[in-house]
Amino acid sequence: MKKLLRHLVDWITLPVLRFSWADRFARFLSYQLRRATRRKVELRLSALGTYGNEVVDGPFKGLRYPPPTQWASCRFEKIIGAYEHELHGLVRRLSTEKQYDLIVNVGAAEGFYTAGLAMLFPKAKIVSFEADEESSRFCLNLCRINQVRERVETRGHCSAEDLCALKPSGRVLVWMDIDTGERPVLDPAKVPWLRFADILVELHDCLEPGLTPLIRGRFAATHHIQQFTSSGLEYALYPLLRGLPFNEIEALVGDDRRGLQDWLYMEPMSSAAI
């Protein structure tokens, strides 16, 4: 009976899923199922007292979040210290080797890096660009909770002209994630002071092919460039994941990215401050 039922389901669904609209709808349902599972597991772990509001691992350990009644992207991954784990070694190195006067976070979203970098670099001023107003409000609240608000200035959309107008002095770090917006913004021909800044940029060739070689080419003559590529998470490193079935683990920390992507960390060959 089960075999017959399986053949019947295959006969109905497989031909339908060949249509692009059906494929998109199935992907949407799968995504919604992951969201529902994530919420259910987060509530269960919160009730058990094992999942709270403070980052427990990673370079931003100790960063505090508002209660989960306020939505934040990738909250679970950030709390357990798994979010963008590929960059953790770099962030730790920068926090021990560098001192910045200004950190420019372009594409700040809800402020994870704005608040986290402000905590790691207590002498730095932070300029945080985020076009979405709701995300920007969350960012300010996150900065208040973590007592760094007085050093953070929030702004909206960032263009190359906005970046150029900063005219910073001293040691500068640019931390950028603007979902294919790098092409018009991250350009030393338009923003000359970028030639002397440390830059971390998340690139999205899976959305716009050719971005990584384009940005690398723009800075090859002025910067030492290190490339990081997204990689799978080693689940065993995170105690809170132990004892959970794989469907729940995937819902909590599964990668929502469209494909493999890269980050470039670019450090100026000249050590002189701007």
Long-range contacts of range 128-135, CB-CB < 8 Å, 24 or more positions apart? 128/152, 128/153, 128/154, 128/155, 129/104, 129/105, 129/154, 129/155, 129/156, 129/157, 129/158, 129/162, 130/154, 130/155, 130/156, 131/156, 131/157, 131/158, 135/108, 135/109, 135/110, 135/111
Is residue 212 included in any domain, yes or no? yes
Verify that 31 and 167 share a domain, yes or no.
Answer: no
Domain count, the chain: 2
Is residue 103 included in any domain, yes or no? yes
Verify that 23 and 128 share a domain, yes or no.
Answer: no
User: Cα(91)–Cα(14) distance, rounded to whole angstroms?
Assistant: 46
Verify that 20 and 94 share a domain, yes or no.
Answer: no
Verify that 127 and 13 share a domain, yes or no.
Answer: no
Is residue 19 included in any domain, yes or no? yes
Is residue 157 included in any domain, yes or no? yes
Verify that 31 and 101 share a domain, yes or no.
Answer: no
Is residue 198 included in any domain, yes or no? yes
Residue of 58, 70, 176, 83 lying closest to 127 (CA atoms): 176
Is residue 273 included in any domain, yes or no? no
Is residue 236 included in any domain, yes or no? yes
Count the Cβ atoms, other than its own, within 10 Å of residue 66: 15
Verify that 25 and 137 share a domain, yes or no.
Answer: no
pLDDT value, residue 68: 80
Q: Are 179 and 207 in contact (CB under 8 A)?
A: yes
Q: What are 54's strand-pairing partners?
A: 64
Domain that holds residue 187: 84-268
CATH at residue 187: 3.40.50.150
pLDDT value, residue 179: 85
Verify that 10 and 91 share a domain, yes or no.
Answer: no
pLDDT value, residue 115: 97
DSSP H or E run through 211? helix 211-219
User: Cα(214)–Cα(183) distance, rounded to whole angstroms?
Assistant: 8
Is residue 52 included in any domain, yes or no? no
Verify that 137 and 21 share a domain, yes or no.
Answer: no
Verify that 111 and 12 share a domain, yes or no.
Answer: no
Lay out the sheet containing 198-202: strands in order across: 152-155, 125-129, 102-106, 172-176, 198-202, 262-268, 223-229
Verify that 158 and 238 share a domain, yes or no.
Answer: yes
Low pLDDT (below 70) residues in the chain: 1-2, 4, 7-19, 22-23, 259, 271-274
Verify that 136 and 223 share a domain, yes or no.
Answer: yes
User: Cα(14)–Cα(5) distance, rounded to whole angstroms?
Assistant: 14
pLDDT value, residue 15: 67
